[in-house]
Amino acid sequence: DTEVTQTPKHLVMGMTNKKSLKCEQHMGHRAMYWYKQKAKKPPELMFVYSYEKLSINESVPSRFSPECPNSSLLNLHLHALQPEDSALYLCASSFQGTSGTGELFFGEGSRLTVL
């Protein structure tokens, strides 16, 4: 079983709703990521947190707002989404820098449907 836990597994929301996706890992990783994955496509990097600080934002619309409250938790706040934002949202973590092996540890994802 994955050591990166994501909740909820499924989420349906309207375009005016505000919701949040949550991610938790207890592997001591200091790098955490949000990816978006459309059907039959590879994961696309959205955000990178390094030592709880946002280090990369891959030009993601402001309706997606990430937050890293501590080294184990990562949130993705959603507001005023569009139907095209429907996708599988994956959280991942890894060791940071030269202490890492390069491996990404993915959660099982949150399947988001925007109506």
Partner 1 sequence: QQQVKQSPQSLIVQKGGIPIINCAYENTAFDYFPWYQQFPGKGPALLIAIRPDVSEKKEGRFTISFNKSAKQFSLHIMDSQPGDSATYFCAASMVIHAGKSTFGDGTTLTVKP
User: Applying CB under 8 A, does 45 fall inside the site for partner 1?
Assistant: yes
Tell me how far, at minimum, the Cβ of 106 lies from partner 1, in Å.
Answer: 4
DSSP code per residue over the chain? --SEEEE-SEEEE-TT-EEEEEEEE-S--SEEEEEEE-TTS--EEEEEEETTEEEEE-S--TTEEEEEEETTEEEEEEES--GGG-EEEEEEEE--GGG--S--EE---EEEEE-
Name the segment binding partner 1 (CB under 8 A); options: 14-22, 61-69, 72-80, 100-108: 100-108
- Identify the residue among 11, 31, 74, 78 touching partner 1 (CB under 8 A): 31
Determine if 12 is a binding residue for partner 1 (CB under 8 A).
Answer: no
Please say which residue, 17 or 44, places its beta carbon nearer to partner 1. Answer: 44
Please give the residue ranges that form the binding site for partner 1 (CB under 8 A): 2, 4, 6, 31, 33, 40-43, 45, 48, 56, 90, 92, 94-95, 97-98, 100-109, 111
